[in-house]
Amino acid sequence: MERRSLPVVIMTCFWGFVGIVMPVILHFSMRNSQNKGVIQLMLMMTAACCYLFWLCAFLFQLNPLIGPQLKTDLIRVLQADWQ
Amino acid sequence: MGTLLRSEEMTLCQLFLQSEGAYTCVSELGELGLVQFRDLNPDVNAFQRKFVNEVRRCDEMERKLRFLEKEIKKDGIPMLDTGDNPDAPAPREMIDLEATFEKLENEMKEVNANSEALKRNFLELTELKHILRKTQTFFDEAELHTQAIHDPSMAEDTMGLLGGEGGASGTSSQIGLSSCFHNRFVAGVILRERIPAFERMLWRVCRGNVFLRQAEIETPLEDPVTGDQVHKSVFIIFFQGEQLKSRVKKICEGFRATLYPCPETPTERREMAIGVMTRIEDLNTVLGQTQDHRHRVLVAAAKNIKVWFIKVRKIKAIYHTLNMFNLDVTQKCLIAECWCPVTDLDRIQQALRRGTEHSGSSVPSILNRMSTKQEPPTYNRNNKFTLAFQEIVDAYGVACYREVNPAPFTIISFPFLFAIMFGDLGHGMIMFLYGLFMVLREKQLTAKKIDNEIWNIFFNGRYVILLMGTFSMYTGLLYNDIYSRSINLFGSSWGSNYDFKALSENSKLQMNPNNSFIGPYPFGIDPIWAMSENKIAVTNSFKMKVSIVFGITQMYFGIVLSLVNNRYFDRRLKIFCEFIPQMIFLTCMFGYLIVLVFYKWTHFTSEMSQEAPNTCCEAMFYAGQKGFQIFLVMVAALCVPWMLLVKPLLERHWYRSGQVRQQQNMSDQLHNNFQHQQLSVQSGDLINQEVYHHGDGGMPPVSGQGPEKEFDFAEEMIHQCIHTIEFCLNCVSHTASYLRLWALSLAHTQLSEVLWGMVLSVALSLNGYLGCVVMLAIFPFWAGCTVIILVLMEGLSAFLHALRLHWVEFQSKFYQGTGYKFQPFSFENLLDYSVEEAK
């Protein structure tokens, strides 16, 4: 179960921090800067795009319908190597 | 959200400048660069304007400076560019400048004329020197001939030598020829490439009765007029008789050969040669002194020429601007109209005050804000980072005044869409490092002023490249592609425990998700797919869905921005009759699709697919799905008449009921308009409005917004019809268009895989020393192909597709782009522009 929920928590926290917390911090730390708005928007859009892309990749593999088709000698190597 | 979301608020201002203070005020405004002057005499010919004389004088000065610059460049003297920016000089300094340039130009012209005359003289003497030297050998040969005729044993040789000329006529003619050596000849110099034609012409015209000898001058000579190095040849023509002489001379003239007198006897020739040598030496010293003088003059000029150029261009720009002003009836002050940003009015006022002080005038300049019905220019305050993205947007169309500017959103969405197509950690890294290099060395590279168009395109887009590289690295990591290879960072989620029997019986096996899958790979695509046979099927399915998800998200975003626009301009009707049905339509058709995609990913497991494997494609995820989907289609269909009919019908209704009210407001409106009229000058557009009011007195404007044109229901209906059909079709076609994200990404992966498989893996499969050697040869080829094909060409194609997706699919949802750009009167722009002109 850890493999299912832990990545979601970590990534959500990370991009949430970038896309929500950092713009809020900037709102107070760069109060008088002309570029504040643009930087906030950039952070939010970066977070949104990157999170959505990761989420798609993650959810896509959540419940696979087919498995990888491998040559048997490759499977032997993998069984010896990756486990 | 800061200043970039909408263009600056602009206002039309009227400036009253005292005639004596106008020059300095405009100069200050030029340094500031925040006002765009309007031409108040558009009908006046350029030659009939007030300051045409001054502009002409500036043109003349500029011409002189260009002449000097050309001379300086010719001598290869470095021009001092201190980078300082002198203020525009006062009008009275113009006379000094003119005098300086006049003096310099005259001096240069004199020096040039002198040195040209000297050089021509020098050339003639050198040519004569060569003639004397070369002809000596010819005469020696001629001596030989005369001997040979008397000495029969040498006759054979002569036959060979003169075979071309007079071999057929036999010995008798040879006697004639050899005797003619003592008779008549001309000597001269001709361009080397003209010799064959010259020879042929001589032969044909004189029917073979002349004898031509030529020898090349080894050292190239300098042409005094153009200064080019030319190769020439010495020739000597022997002939008999006056008639031939005149013919030969005419031919020489025709071929631009220069003829020189050449004494017949050797002693005379020697004396002449000595005389020529001494004269050449004298001439050389004089020439050297002339060159020194010229050099000194030019070095002195080179120190100041850049500053002079700036000064003259500033003066010219100021007078050019003053030409656009209107003269007051009293001739005491100039009236100008200009657009300027409202937030900068204070700075403009200060500049005007400074200008008045400089001129020493006691009467201050006056700045009045005017109300106008004209659409103001669009002015976005960009910094060096946002400028490239703004240019991407502006290349499609400049935003209307105060319309939502797509540029700030483009900063991230553009590189990200690019990255979806370009996703590869390795290729992204190359692009990122290149962008980083340009960004870090920004100052040095700007200072170098590299004059290469392609380099400048890349350099201006350095921040775009940097972001594109960064996001390509991220998406590459998620696609798990590094030069088409994968890495196993977190441990694959597929593990099997096939026994020996199963492995030896089958050549390939497909893992079962039910027993060999331990949970999703935490970051990106599982590395096991890179090795599997059915990789493409799986990545295609993923990339296709990602394209659709991102595409529809961006389209939603575009429609939301149209809401922002409509709210800002207070177009409530458009919100209710366009924005809301559009949102509903898109949600019913494609928003639902995305929900289904996510629902399937999260809830549809392999066990369920095995229960009913055949109905996989038409699987029902929940009860009553069919009914709900039919309902959605019906809602979407209902949105179409909503979009199509409601707005035109409502507008017609309001128009009809509004007409009654207008009759009452008529008198008020006319009164207001006349008040406006008093303020503005008789510039072209305002005159038109005046005419309009007088001519169509019966049709006064409806609202304070300006004269509204008559409401045409049919036109409005057609317009709305087109708009509705366009939107509904575009929803489908744009969604399909976003599939290019998938297609390009697939193409990129496949191409890099092919390159790896066909090139690099050949070298990797060899063992031992041979492998090393082959690797050394193949790796550069692979690396070159990677950079040129995969990074440059694929990058370019992905860039163009991302551009299209922004221009068409994203911006068509909210962006009008029919505005015009704010082009302030600024010395900075002017100087940049003139530098480019000079190139």
User: Where does residue B189 fall: left (phi above 0), alpha (psi -120 to 50 degrees), or beta otherwise?
Assistant: beta
Q: Is the pLDDT of residue B682 over 50?
A: no
Question: How do residues B366-413 score in pLDDT, each as one tens digit?
Answer: 888 988 888 999 999 888 999 999 999 999 999 999 999 999 999 999
> In angstroms, rounded to a whole number, what is the distance separating the alpha carbons of residues B653 and B741?
46
Q: Do A37 and B497 touch (CB under 8 A)?
A: no
Q: Hey, are the CB atoms on B542 and A60 less than 8 Å from each other?
A: yes
Range scoring the smallest mean pLDDT among B17-26, B166-175, B185-194, B620-629: B166-175
User: What pLDDT, on a 0 to 100 scale, did the predictor assign at position B263?
Assistant: 81
Question: For residue B341, is pLDDT > 50?
Answer: yes
- What SS3 state is found at B214? strand
- How many Å apart are CA B516 and CA B494, to the nearest integer? 6
Residue B688 is predicted with a pLDDT of 39
Question: B37: which 2 tokens?
Answer: 């002057």
| Three-state SS at B352 | helix
Which whole-number Å values give the CA distances from B385 to B382, B459, B461, B804, in the listed order?
A: 8, 12, 9, 22
Residue B561, classified by CB atoms within 10 Å of its CB into exposed (0-12), middle (13-18) or buried (19+), is: buried
pLDDT for B160 beyond 50: no
How confident is the model over B525-532, as a mean pLDDT? 91
Torsion angle of the four alpha carbons B501, B502, B503, B509, in this order, in degrees rounded to the nearest 10: 180
Mutate to test the interface with B, among A70, A78, A81, A82 (most CBs of B within 10 A): A70
Calpha distance B783→B699 (Å, rounded): 73
* Chain A residues whose beta carbon lies within 8 Å of the beta carbon of residue B475: 53
Interchain proximity A53–B3, CB inside 8 Å: no
B63 token code pair: 């011409």
Say yes or no to pLDDT of B278 above 80: yes
Contact (CB<8Å) B513/A64: yes
Confidence of residue B699 (pLDDT cuts 50, 70, 90): very low
- What pLDDT does residue B611 have? 55
Q: Is B416–A49 a contact, with Cβ atoms under 8 angstroms apart? A: yes
Residue stretches of chain A with pLDDT short of 50: none
Tens digits of residue pLDDT in B605-626: 877 766 544 444 556 777 888 8
With 60 as the cut, is the pLDDT of residue B91 above it? yes
- Please indicate if any CB of chain A lies within 8 Å of the CB of B534: yes
**Tens of pLDDT along B804-823?**
999 999 999 999 989 999 99
If residue B791 lies in a helix (H) or strand (E), which one and from where to where? none
Residue A45: list chain B partners with CB under 8 A. 409, 411-413, 416
Per-residue confidence (pLDDT) for residue B631, from 0 to 100: 95
| CB contacts, 8 Å: A60 with chain B | 541-542, 545, 601
**Mean pLDDT of the region B22-40:** 90
Q: What pLDDT, on the 0 to 100 scale, is given for residue B501?
A: 81
Which residue would you say has higher pLDDT here, B592 or B838?
B592
Looking at residue B623, its pLDDT comes to 81
| Residues in chain B within 8 Å Cβ distance of A40 | 1
* Beta strands B508-510 and B184-191, pairing class: unpaired
Q: Are B125 and B279 in contact (CB under 8 A)?
A: yes
Is B378:B822 a contact under the CB 8 Å cutoff? yes
- The 3-state DSSP class for residue B397 equals coil
A residues 13..42 contacting B (CB < 8 A): 34-38, 40-42
The pLDDT, as a whole number, for residue B689 is 41
Q: Are B393 and B4 in contact (CB under 8 A)?
A: no
CB nearest A4 (choices: B504, B520, B546): B520
* Chain B: closest CA distance from residue A16 (Å): 17
- Would the CB atoms of B531 and A68 count as touching at under 8 Å? yes
Nearest one of B283, B284, B277 to B133, comparing CA atoms: B277
The pLDDT value recorded for residue B579 is 94
Residues whose CB is less than 8 angstroms from the CB of residue B390 and which lie 6 or more positions away in sequence, other chains included: B380, B382, B405, B407
CA-derived radius of gyration, chain A: 20
Residue B420 neighbours by CB distance under 10 Å = 28
pLDDT higher than threshold 70 for residue B158: no
What's residue A25's pLDDT?
A: 94
Q: Contact B507/B459 with Cβ under 8 angstroms?
A: no
Question: Is-contact B400 B375, C-beta < 8 A?
Answer: yes
Query: Distance between CA atoms of B84 and B80, rounded to whole angstroms?
Result: 11
Asked if residue A49 lies in contact with residue B412, where contact means CB atoms within 8 angstroms, the answer is yes
What is the dihedral angle through the alpha carbons of B517, B521, B522, B525, rounded to the nearest 10 degrees?
-160
Residues 6 or more apart whose Cβ sits within 8 Å of residue B88 = B27, B30, B311, B314, B315, B318, B827
How is residue B222 written in tokens? 């300098």
Nearest Cα residue in chain A from B554: A49
The arithmetic mean of pLDDT across residues B825-838, rounded, is 66
Answer whether A51 touches B (CB < 8 Å): no
Distance in Å, alpha carbon of B514 to nearest chain A alpha carbon: 9
Q: Identify whether the C-beta of residue B530 lies closer than 8 Å to the C-beta of residue B486.
A: yes
Mean pLDDT for B163-172 is: 41
Name, in order, each residue with C-beta under 8 angstroms of B800's C-beta and a sequence gap of 6 or more: none
| Tokens, residue B328 | 């007051």
Q: What is the pLDDT of residue B515?
A: 81
Q: Which one has a higher pLDDT value, B362 or B65? A: B65
Residues of A in contact with B474 (CB under 8 A): 50, 53
DSSP string, B403-470: PPPSHHHHHHHHHHHHHHHH--HHHHHHHHHHHHHHHHTHHHHHHHT---HHHHHHHHTHHHHHHHHH
Q: Which helix (H) or strand (E) holds B277?
A: helix B266-322
Which of B89-98, B252-261, B547-556 tops mean pLDDT?
Answer: B547-556
Confidence at B155, pLDDT banded by 50, 70, 90: very low
Number of CB pairs < 8 Å for A and B?
180
Task: Count CA atoms within 13 Å of residue B165 on its CB side.
Answer: 22
Distance from CA of B402 to the nearest CA of A (A): 17
**Probe site for chain A from B344, B521, B617, B745 (most A CB atoms < 10 A):** B521
Where along chain B do its domains lie? 403-425+465-813
pLDDT at B519: 85
Q: How many CB atoms lie within 10 A of CB B722?
A: 10
Token duo for residue B406: 């797509």
Phi, psi for B216 (deg, rounded to 5): -80, 145
- With beta carbons less than 8 A apart as the criterion, state whether B38 and B14 touch: no
Q: Give me the residue from A6, A7, A75 closest to B498, CB to CB.
A: A75
For residue A29, give how far its alpha carbon lies from the nearest alpha carbon of chain B (Å): 15
- In one-letter notation, the amino acid at residue A39 is I
Query: Which chain A residues are closer than 8 Å to B532 by Cβ?
Result: 68-70
* Residue A63 C-alpha, separation from nearest chain B C-alpha, in angstroms: 5
Nearest to B394 by CA among B807, B836, B835: B807
Position B163 scores a pLDDT of: 41
pLDDT at B323 over 50: yes
The nearest alpha carbon in chain B to A76 belongs to: B503
The answer to whether B423 and B745 have CB atoms below 8 angstroms apart is yes
Residue-level pLDDT at B446: 87
Contact between residue B648 and residue B716 where contact means Cβ atoms under 8 Å apart = yes
Give the pLDDT confidence score for residue B622 in this predicted structure: 79
Mean pLDDT along residues B279-293: 90
**Alpha carbons B48 and B52: distance in angstroms, whole number:** 7
| Band of pLDDT at residue B209, cut at 50, 70 and 90 | confident
Question: Which residue in B has a C-alpha nearest to residue A59's C-alpha?
Answer: B601
Phi, psi (5° rounding) for residue B51? -105, 30
Q: What is the pLDDT of residue B234?
A: 87
- Cβ of residue A77 closer than 8 Å to a chain B Cβ: no
- Tell me whether strands B333-341 and B326-327 are parallel, antiparallel or unpaired: antiparallel
Q: Which band of pLDDT confidence, cut at 50, 70 and 90, is reported for residue B510?
A: confident
Q: What is the pLDDT of residue B723?
A: 93
A64/B532 Cβ within 8 A: no
> Which bin fits A6, alpha (ψ -120 to 50), beta or left (φ > 0)?
alpha
A58 touches chain B (CB under 8 A): yes
Q: How far is B17 from chain A (nearest CA, A)?
A: 33
Measure the CA–CA gap between B192 and B749, rounded to whole angstroms.
Answer: 61
Average pLDDT over residues B580-606: 91
Residue B149, Cβ neighbours under 10 Å: how many? 17
Give residue B680's pLDDT. 46
For residue B670, what pLDDT band results from cuts at 50, 70 and 90? low
Least confident of B267-276, B411-420, B449-458, B658-667: B658-667
The interface predicted TM-score of the complex, written ipTM, equals 0.96
- Measured in angstroms, the CA of B833 and the nearest CA of chain A are apart by 28
Q: What type of residue sits at position B410?
A: T
pLDDT of residue B150: 60
Confidence of residue B537 (pLDDT cuts 50, 70, 90): very high
Confirm or reject contact between A5 and chain B (CB < 8 A): no
Q: Look at residue B698 in the predicted model and tell me its pLDDT.
A: 36
Helix (H) or strand (E) holding A70: strand A69-71
For residue A38, give the nearest of B2, B493, B496 by CB distance: B2
| Rounded distance between C-alpha atoms, residue B666 and residue B660, angstroms | 11
The average pLDDT across B486-500 equals 84
| Each residue's pLDDT tens digit, B92-143 | 888 898 999 999 999 999 988 988 888 888 888 888 888 888 887 777 777 7
Interval B35-81: pLDDT, tens: 999 988 888 888 888 888 889 999 999 999 999 999 888 888 888 77
Q: Chain A closest CA to B497's CA: distance in Å?
A: 7
For all residues of chain B together, what is the average pLDDT? 84
